[in-house]
Homo-oligomer: A and B are copies of this chain.
């Protein structure tokens, strides 16, 4: 399919993916897709990544229940980075969404302050209660 061939996959056949929450516009996480992960994401309308540590497809939410419903996919000007706009599922109605494996809303919770990284966002759910 030509839209897959339009992408400049890196030397490992991967594409960096920025994941942004629809509504808040918060950046939730960063991951990678290979061709198969992107095809699967387009097919099922939920985010499927390539886990570099586990070397396998990773359907986000498969162990946490925190699936990501995809609203939009955007490619950058160089055709080598993807922006995924998602609804982060799996949290209590009305509560802040949880994308990070630490139980936080976003993976980007460490702020640079006076020459150090400080965790500034709260843990919303104990990870022990997320992964069963």
Q: Which of B72, B78, B102, B108 contacts A83 (CB 8 A)?
A: B108
> B30–A76 contact, CB under 8 A?
yes
- Distance in angstroms between the alpha carbons of A74 and B29 in the assembled complex: 12
Instruction: Give the oligomeric copy count.
Output: 2
Q: Which of B1, B76, B108, B111 contacts A108 (CB 8 A)?
A: B76
A27 CB contacts on chain B under 8 angstroms: 18, 20, 27, 83
Question: Chain B nearest CB: distance from A85 CB in Å?
Answer: 9
Tell me the nearest residue of chain B to A30, going by C-beta.
B81
A 62-87 binary contact with B (CB < 8 Å = 1; else 0): 00000000001111111101010000
> A112–B73 contact, CB under 8 A?
yes
Q: Which of B16, B24, B29, B77 contacts A76 (CB 8 A)?
A: B29
A81 CB contacts on chain B under 8 angstroms: 30, 107-108
A100 CB within 8 Å of chain B: yes
Tell me the nearest residue of chain B to A102, going by C-beta.
B77
- Distance in angstroms between the alpha carbons of A100 and B26 in the assembled complex: 20
Q: Which of B20, B29, B30, B75 contacts A117 (CB 8 A)?
A: B75
Question: Chain B nearest CB: distance from A45 CB in Å?
Answer: 12
A 28-47 binary contact with B (CB < 8 Å = 1; else 0): 01100000000000100000
